[in-house]
Structure 1
Amino acid sequence: MTWDLFALLYARVEADLGKALQRGHGLGLSEYRALRQLAGAPGGELRMQELAEAVGLNQSSVTRLIARLEEAGLTRRTLCSNDRRGVYSVITEAGRTRLAGATPAYEDCLTTALDRACTDPVLRPLAEAVRTAGTG
């Protein structure tokens, strides 16, 4: 039962976040999360496998995601200097700018979605627990 409620809360919040980011900033939720992970990484770069794990995608999906971000000029790829087989994704200044513009919308939408969930007596305890644990 608790897992089902978590899945319901998660689905509602994710849908709201995805709409807000796409509508206001032209980013999908996975794209936003990838930019956020890259921006927080040392040097603004992660190996593709590390990025895949950080955003919860498989290798194939993260490769397509990064291709979209590269096409938009938000990331670029580089080869690992000591292992030419390793490929890194690096956030660009344009990526940092897009992320900075989208973050307030993401945070506002997250707060609103959790506020709305708190009005539902069934979801309230879980939404309050998520809020208490931190929502970044």
Structure 2
Amino acid sequence: MGAGGTGVATTDAQVWDGVVTLHGRVEHRLSKALQQRHGIGLSEFRALCRLARADDGELRMQELADLIGLNQSSVSRLVARLEAAGLTRRDMCPKDRRGVYTVITDEGRALKEQASPTYDETLSRALDAAADDPTLGPLVNLLRS
């Protein structure tokens, strides 16, 4: 029971457990499909998506980290992998020489476009499968409404 015997904490914990389970299942399927079909990880794909939508195709490293849910160290390693593959490049902020941006390249945009249908189809199939699970179905239906 939650504070004061309301049971709210228990209900919140159960809902959150469902979210975590759903998230794990979907992320696993997305990661596997992107890696197998396009040779790219899920974090790399998400970074390319965010960069493709950004003004001028560039974001500060910390901004990218915040948008895709990584810490500064992890996003630095991620961007290094993207750069090594020719999918992004680094650029310095002209107004603040300490500011480092990562910029999507034409190759990065092309890979993002190629991988997007895989991501979208896999996401839909993963959510459809979860909707058939009696414990996750109500959560999926709520998220889709």
- The within-5 A match list for 1:1-136 is 1-132=14-145
Count, aligned residues: 132
Q: Can you give the 5+ residue segments of structure 1 that lack an aligned partner in the other structure?
A: none
Instruction: Tell which structure's C-alpha radius of gyration is larger.
Output: 2
Distance 1:63 1:121 in 2: 40
Cα deviation, 1:33-82, whole Å, max 9, x if unaligned, reads 00000000000000001000001001110000000000000000000000
Distance 1:54 1:68 in 2: 18
Deviation at 1:128, TM superposition (A): 1.4
Q: Can you give the 5+ residue segments of structure 2 that lack an aligned partner in the other structure?
A: 1-13
Cα deviation, 1:69-108, whole Å, max 9, x if unaligned, reads 0000000000000000000000000000000000000000
Contact 1:75 1:95 in 2 (8 A): yes
Deviation at 1:20, TM superposition (A): 0.4
What is the root-mean-square deviation in Å for CA atoms of aligned residues? 0.6
Cα deviation, 1:91-126, whole Å, max 9, x if unaligned, reads 000000000000000000000000000111110011
Deviation at 1:130, TM superposition (A): 2.0
SS in 2 for 1:46: strand
Distance 2:124 2:109 in 1: 23
TM-score by length of 2: 0.90
TM-score by length of 1: 0.96
Distance 1:128 1:98 in 2: 31
Distance 2:46 2:57 in 1: 13
Distance 2:21 2:40 in 1: 23
SS in 2 for 1:89: strand
Greater relative CO (CA pairs within 8 A, separation 6+):
1
**Displaced runs of 4+ in structure 1, greater than 2 A?**
none
Distance 2:143 2:26 in 1: 11
Distance 1:128 1:75 in 2: 37
